[in-house]
Structure 1
Amino acid sequence: MEQSHGSARPELPEPVQALPEPSTPVPTFPEPLVIGRPPMLRSDPGVLPTPHPEHLGRPDSELDGAALPGLVVRAASIRGDAHRYYGTPRQDAMGLWQTGEAQLLTCVADGLGSKELSHAGASQACASAYRNITDLRAYTDLQVAAEYLIEGIADDIRKQAVQHEVPADALSTTFLAAVIDQSADASSHRARLMRVGDSTAFLLRRGVWEECFGKEGEETIASSATHALPGDIGHVEVAVADLEPGDMLLLCTDGISTPLTRNSRVGDQLSAWWSQAEPPSLPEFFWQSSFRAKSYDDDRTAICVWRV
C-alpha cells in the first residue's frame, strides 16, 4: 500500500464546554406567621382521618373566591392543628354562591367537636342553605325570613341523620349565613345575617373591627356556643350590615373569632392584612388565615367580602 504524501491532518481542538447558567434561587413560601408565643403542635397535616362508613372523609382545607360587581370575596376553611395531630376530620364547612338576581349567599358552619358526624352536619347545613334560600328582600321582617330558612336547613340535617341511622344531634353544627346585595351602582351593599350558635360576623371599617351581632362578652359566647342545629331552631339571631366602599365583612367560625377578640395581636395583624387597598390573592389569603398562635389550634373558616 502506498503511503499518502502531503501534510498531516491537523488535530481538531477540544470542544468548548458551555458555561453553566447562573443559578437562580428558587422562591420559597414562608411558613405561617407565628403571632405571640409559638404553639407546641406543628401545622403540617398528619395521618388522614378515618372516613365514617356512611360519610367519606373531608379534605384538609378548602379555598375559594370571587370577583363580583362591587365585591371581592376570599374564603378559606382550614383544618386545625389539633385535628391534624389526632387525625380527625375538619368539622368546619363553608359555601358561597350567587343566588337570585344580584344576590350573594355566603355561609360558614362549625360542627360540634363532641359529635362524631358533626362535619357531615356542617357540610349539610351549608349545602341546604343554598337549596332553601329565597330572596330575603321580599320579606319585611328579616327574623321571620331567617327562621323560615333555618327550619328548612334543620329539616335537611334531620333527614340526613335518618339516612345515616344516627340520632339527629350526632350531626350538630353551628350555622351563620349572609345574603348580600350586589350592584356596582349601589352606594352601599346591604348584608342580611342570620345565625344559630357562636359562628359570627365582623365589619372591618377603617382598620377597626365592629361586631355585627353586638358586643359579645365571654358569658354570651359560652351561652351561644351551646346552640346548634338541628335542635335549636328557636335560637335564631339576625343582624344587618351596610358595606360602604373600603369596608370588609368577615364571616367566621370560632377558630378565627376567638383569637381575634381575645388576643389583640391577632386582631391587629388581621386588620393590617385585610385593610390594604387591594384584597389578597387566593394563596396569600390562605397563608394569612393559617397564622399560628399558642392555644388556638381549632379549625378555622373565614369568608371575607370586600366592598370595592
Structure 2
Amino acid sequence: MSQQGEKPAADEDDWWRKLYDDAARDTGPGSETDSLDDRFDSASDAVGAGGAGGGADHPVTVVPLPDPRLPEADPPPGKRPARHAAPRPDRAPDPPAAPQPPPEPPPAPPVPHRPPAGVDERAPWEAPVGPPRPRTFAAPPPPPVPPAVPGAPEPPARPVVGHVGDRPPTYDAEPASLPLSGPDDLDGTVPDTVLDGARYGTYTLRAASVRGDSARFRGEPRRDALLTARFGAGAGDAALVLVAVAGGTRGSDVAHLAAADACRWIGGAVARSHARLSDDIRAGRRGDLKSGLHRLTDRTYGKLRARAAELGLDPSAYSAGLGCLLLSADPDCRTRVFFGTGRGGLFRLRDGAWQDLDPVLPAPMGAVEEEGPGGDRLTMDLQITTPPSPYEESPPQEPAEPFHFRASVARTGDTLLLCGSGMAEPMRREPELAGELARRWASDAPPGLPAYLADIQLRTKGYADDRTCAAVWEA
C-alpha cells in the first residue's frame, strides 16, 4: 500500500515478495550462500524488473571478480580484458593500478648435505646403514697462548730428578703401581713419599723418605720408615728434636710394619726421657748419653721380638735397622748425637768434602778418628760393659746388630747427613753421587723441601732401594 492508500501495482507487489517473502533466499550476514555474485544477481533482478517509474531495461555486463584466496596471475601482455561496466556518476573513477614488480626467479633447488668422510651424523635412534665405521670427533682448539710481556720475569724452573752415570737406571723415576691392600691391613698402608723439615737454633733440618724405583715398579710398599718429632714445650733450652730412620728386612712381607714399629717405640722411649737426655746433651755427658741410649735401643728391639712372637714369625723377619739423631733446640748447644744399630750411614760435608762418621763400618771416604780436646769430641761404642741405665729399669736385651753411638760438635757451614742403607751404599761406592750432592749443597743456604727431595732422589744405576735421609745444615 502506498502512502495515499492506493493498492500497489502488480509489478511492485512482485518485486516486494522477491525481497521480503519468507520463501526468498536469505542474503543477510551469516548466510552460507551470501557472496558478491549473489548480491549482484539480486540487484540485477531488482533493477531489471523495473522501478516505480517503470524504466526501460539496460544491458548489464557481469565481470567476474578474482578469488581473494588465490594469487592473482598477470595475463600475458596485450591480453588484458577491458572493463565494460558503466561508471557510476556519484563515484570517482578508480585510480590507476600500480605497476606490478617483475616476477622473482624460482629458487634454486637445495643442495643435499653430505657429511665429511668418516663422520656419522645419524641420530642415535637411527639404525646404521652398511658396515660400521669408526666415529671421529673434531679436535678441540688449542688453548690461547698468553702474549709475552716484555721485561716480565721467567717462571722458576721446577726441581728435576736427574741421574749420575753414563745412562739412567732401568726403572722409571716416577711411581707406577700402588701396593696391594686389603680390608684388614689399611692401618699398615704407607705413602710413597714422606717429606718434613724444621729450623731451630743454628740449624735447619730437612728429612725425606722415598720408595725405591724397584718397589715402585713392582707395587711393593716402602720398607723404610721416618720419624721427626720434637719433645718439650716451646723451642726453649729443654726442647729436644728426634730424627729416626728405620729400614725393614729385605724380602719380608711385614718389613714396613717392623720399621714403623721401631720408629714409634724408640720415639716413645725418648719422649719419656727427653728432659734428662736434653740436660746430658747440653752438659756434654757423653758417657751417660751412650749408656742411656744403648738401653733405650735394646728396649725397642725387645718389643720387636715380642711382636714377632705374637705374629708367629721368626725374630729376624720382624726386625729393622735403626739410626737416630738427637738435636737440642738450644742455640748455644752444637752437640749432635747419633745412635742406632744395623746398616745405615752418617756423613758430614765439611769444606766441600764428605767424611764418613759411622763408628763401626769402615769408610773409604776419609774416615775421621778420635780427636783431641781441640777438635771434635767423638765417642764410639768400644763394646765396653756399661752400668745400669738411669732411663730404664728393665735389663738390657742385646739387638742382633752392634750398637752405634757418636757425638760430635758442629761447625758453621757443616752439613750432617743421616741415611738408611739405600742411600748409604751408593754414597760409599759411587763417588760421582757424593760429588754431585757436595756441589749442590755447597752454598750456605739450605735447599727448600722440593729441591731437597729432588736431590736425594738423584738416581744411580744399580741402586733401586728406598732412600731415606735427614740432613742438618749448620749456620
Common fold by TM > 0.5: yes
* Corresponding residue for residue 453 of structure 2: 286
Shift of 1:262: 0.9
Rounded to whole Å, the distance in 2 between the matches of 1:21 and 1:110 is 49
Q: Is the 8 A contact 1:151 1:233 kept in 2?
A: no
* Corresponding residue for residue 39 of structure 1: 169
Match for residue 357 of structure 2 among 212, 231, 234:
212
Rounded to whole Å, the distance in 2 between the matches of 1:51 and 1:216 is 40
Shift of 1:182: 2.9
| 1:113-262 mapped onto 2 (5 Å cutoff) | 113-133=250-270, 134=273, 135-136=276-277, 137-138=279-280, 140-162=287-309, 164-186=311-333, 189-214=334-359, 216=362, 232=399, 235-262=402-429
* Residue deviations 1:22-60 (CA, integer Å, cap 9, x gap): 168876635411111311111121111113744532111
Q: Which runs of 5+ in 1 are unaligned?
A: 1-18, 219-229
Cα RMSD between the aligned structures? Answer: 2.5
| Closer, same or farther: CA 192–26 of 1 in aligned 2, 3 Å | closer
| Closer, same or farther: CA 29–148 of 1 in aligned 2, 3 Å | same
Rounded to whole Å, the distance in 2 between the matches of 1:154 and 1:33 is 37
Match for residue 241 of structure 2 among 86, 104, 115:
104
Q: Is the 8 A contact 1:60 1:78 kept in 2?
A: yes
Q: Which runs of 5+ in 2 are unaligned?
A: 1-143, 233-237, 365-396
Question: Structure 1 vs Structure 2: percent identity of aligned residues?
Answer: 28
Q: Is the 8 A contact 1:107 1:251 kept in 2?
A: no
Match for residue 69 of structure 1 among 190, 197, 201:
201
* Residue deviations 1:150-172 (CA, integer Å, cap 9, x gap): 12211332344355454433322
Shift of 1:238: 0.9
* Residue deviations 1:209-231 (CA, integer Å, cap 9, x gap): 1122246259xxxxxxxxxxx97
Rounded to whole Å, the distance in 2 between the matches of 1:285 and 1:234 is 30
What amino acid sits opposite 2:248 in the alignment? G
| Closer, same or farther: CA 148–20 of 1 in aligned 2, 3 Å | closer
More strand by share: 1
User: How many corresponding residue pairs?
Assistant: 277
What amino acid sits opposite 2:352 in the alignment? G
2:260 aligned counterpart, secondary structure: helix
What amino acid sits opposite 1:264 in the alignment? P
RCO greater where, 1 or 2, for CA within 8 Å and sep 6 or more?
Answer: 1
Say whether 1:82 aligns with 2:214.
yes
Flag the structure with larger Rg: 2
Q: Is the 8 A contact 2:195 2:208 kept in 1?
A: yes
| Closer, same or farther: CA 102–158 of 1 in aligned 2, 3 Å | same
Q: Is the 8 A contact 2:159 2:451 kept in 1?
A: no
**Which is further off, 131-140 or 66-75?**
131-140
Shift of 1:233: 5.0
* Corresponding residue for residue 223 of structure 1: none
Shift of 1:202: 1.1
Q: Is the 8 A contact 1:108 1:177 kept in 2?
A: yes
